Chain A
Amino acid sequence: MLTAEDKKLIQQVWGKLGGAEEEVGADTLWRMFHAYPPTKTYFPHFDLSQGSDQIRGHGKKVVAALGTAIKNLDNLSQALSELSNLHAYNLRVDPPCFALQFLAQCLQVVLAVRLGKEYTPEVHSAVDKFMSAVAAVLAEKYR
Chain B
Amino acid sequence: MVHWSAEEKQLIASVWAKVNVEECGAEALARLLIVYPWTQRFFSNFGNLSSPTAILGNPKVRAHGKKVLTSFGDAIKNLDNIKGTYSKLSELHCDKLHVDPENFRLLGDILIIVLASHFGRDFSPACQFAWQKLVSVVAHALARKYH
Q: Do A and B bind each other?
A: yes
Chain A residues within CB distance 8 Å of chain B: 27, 30-31, 34-36, 105-106, 108-110, 112-117, 119, 121-122, 124-125, 128
Tell me which of A34, A106, A110, A121 contacts B30 (CB under 8 A): A121
**A35, A106, A115, A121: which has the most chain B beta carbons within 10 Å?**
A121
- B18-32 contacts to A, CB under 8 A, are 27, 30-31
A34 to B126, CA, bound (A): 7
Residues of chain B lying within 8 A (CB to CB) of residue A115: 117
A interface, over-half SS: helix
Beta-carbon contact of B117 and A121 below 8 Å = no
Asked if A121 and B35 make an inter-chain contact with CB atoms under 8 angstroms apart, the answer reads yes
A-contacting residues of B (Cβ < 8 Å)?
A: 27, 30-31, 34-35, 52, 55-56, 109, 112-114, 116-121, 123, 125-126, 128-129, 132
Of the residues B31, B128, B129, contact of A121 by C-beta under 8 Å: B31
Contacts of A124 in B (CB 8 A): 31, 34-35, 113
A selection of 21 A-B contacts at a CB cut-off of 8 Å is A27-B125, A31-B125, A35-B125, A35-B132, A36-B132, A109-B128, A112-B114, A113-B117, A113-B123, A115-B117, A117-B117, A119-B113, A121-B27, A121-B30, A121-B31, A121-B52, A121-B55, A121-B56, A122-B52, A124-B35, A125-B34
A63 to B121, CA, bound (A): 20
- Which chain A residues lie closer than 8 Å to B55 at the CB level? 121
Cα A132 to Cα B94 in complex, Å, equals 28
The answer on a CB contact under 8 Å between A35 and B117 is no
Q: How far is the CB of A78 from chain B (nearest CB, A)?
A: 27
- The CA of A61 and the CA of B76, in the complex, are separated in Å by 38
Contact indicator A113/B121 (Cβ below 8 Å): yes
